[in-house]
Amino acid sequence: MSRRVPAGTLSRRPTVSVVVPCYNYARYLAECVETVLTQEGVDPEVIIVDDASTDASATVAAALAAADGRVRVIRHPANRGHIATYNDGLAEATGDYVVLLSADDLLLPGSLARATALLEANPSVGMAYGHPTHLYEGRPPKPPRTRVRNWTIWDGPEWIRLRCRAGINCIFNPEVVLRTSVQREIGGYRPDLPHSGDLEMWLRAASVADVGRVNGTDQAYYRVHAASMQRTVYAGHLTDLRARWDAFQVVLTGRAAGIPDADGLLTTVRRTLANEALGQVRRICSEGRAEHDGDLVDSYLRFARELWPDAPALAAWRAIPVARRAGEHRSAVTALTTYRTIEDKIRWRRWRWNGV
């Protein structure tokens, strides 16, 4: 079940540990840390974990720590990768709440007070998030929204069920605040999920606690740039599909005791992701790219069959020949592209409003 409740304000100053993993992000690091230290209504600490950067990150981090006692630095003597970097920082958190904030992202003014107010008022909630807004390289930032509309509280299993039906991660990451006791209970990031560790972490948190969202405001800037991990190491929709399946599978099998009807939800995810793969095939075909991208089409079809052996019986599979024929006509391609653009905008507006 979910419920909308009026938003409240803080009655005390909670402590928040903000872990800032950094690898070759010296150019962003100082601005990132500044957005934490200037948060009002909370007492923040910053834990910078430098993963043996080869740029000036270590120098910048040391200067920030020297200038402000609320900043600590952990420096890896050799590169250990992002999962170990995250976990080393989380293990050092001492606050009531903990945030993982990539060195290229930014918190927005008041975001920590807004999220912790929800958590303070609702002890059953282990994780609170809000809406992140994109910060594009070379473009001026979009002015953030600052007025809280209300809060949404989901029972943990209900939030997991919604994620299984959608099959996607509705959270980018910098907009999340976790109760540190919940973080300790569920443990750190899994090394075997390098791409979908965030999704698995949120699902794991929801298996032991409720989930809350601050509605109406923008909580963080998620920076989009060519060097980000999402656009380099883990680029590709099929890679993302497989990684999401791994995350859902791990949680729904490994934590089934805390998730009602885990087997049924696993079936839901299988079908959801199979349909998404088939949807990508339809898109490729309707855009007239089936012959050029034949190997990719075959990969999507294999993935759909892996998850749903009877995939040819799904309506999405039966629609593929129609898409192929549409792809042969320019007017049909234009119409389908326009329709998908409108559909994507509607989906984005719905997510922006309710967070799922």
CA distances from 99 to 17, 111, 128, 204 (A): 6, 11, 10, 16
Q: What is the rounded (10 degree) CA torsion for 22, 24, 26, 27?
A: -120
Residue 52 belongs to domain with CATH number: 3.90.550.10
CA dihedral 115, 118, 119, 122 (to 10 degrees): -170
pLDDT band at 208 (very low <50, low <70, confident <90, very high): very high
Host domain of residue 87:
11-231
Which one of 215, 231, 247 terminates a domain? 231
Question: What tens digit of pLDDT does each residue of 306-339 get?
Answer: 999 999 999 999 999 877 766 655 444 454 455 4
Is the pLDDT at 228 greater than 70? The verdict is no
pLDDT of residue 342: 63
Strand partners, 178: 98, 127
240 within domain boundaries: no
- Whether 3 is covered by a domain: the verdict is no
- Does the pLDDT value for residue 291 go beyond 80? no
Residues 65, 189, single domain; the answer is yes
> Could you give phi then psi for residue 68, rounded to 5 degrees?
-145, 120
Tell me the whole-structure pTM to 2 decimals. 0.91
| C-beta separation of 255 from 207 below 8 A | yes
User: Tell me: the pLDDT tens digits for 55-79?
Assistant: 999 999 999 999 999 999 999 999 9
Asked whether residue 345 carries a pLDDT value surpassing 80, the answer given is: no
Q: Are residues 217 and 323 in the same domain?
A: no
Average pLDDT over residues 140-161: 94
Whether the CB-CB separation of 286 and 333 falls below 8 Å is answered with: yes
Residue in the structure block whose two tokens are 């209900």: 158
220 and 268 share one domain: no
- Say if 246 falls within a structural domain: no
**Helix, strand or coil, per DSSP, at residue 149:** coil
> β-strands 71-75, 43-50: how paired?
parallel
pLDDT for residue 103: 97
C-alpha 334/C-alpha 28 separation (Å) is 40
Per-residue model confidence (pLDDT) at position 20: 98
Q: What percent of the chain has pLDDT over 70?
A: 91
Count of structural domains, the chain: 2
Output the 3-class SS for 263-332.
Answer: HHHHHHHHHHHHHHHHHHHHHHHHCCCCCCCHHHHHHHHHHHHHHCCCHHHCHHHHCHHHHHHHCCCHHH
Inside any domain, residue 255: no
**Quick check: is 17 in a domain?**
yes
Going by the DSSP 8-state scheme, the letter that residue 142 receives in this structure is P
Kindly give, in sequence order, each residue whose CB lies less than 8 Å from that of residue 113, ignoring residues fewer than 6 positions away. Answer: 9, 10, 39, 40, 41, 42
Q: How many residues does the chain have?
A: 356
Residue 290's Cβ-side half-sphere holds a number of Cα atoms within 13 Å equal to 18
Report yes or no on 144 lying in a domain.
yes
Instruction: Establish if 106 belongs to a structural domain.
Output: yes
Contact 129, 171 (CB under 8 A): yes
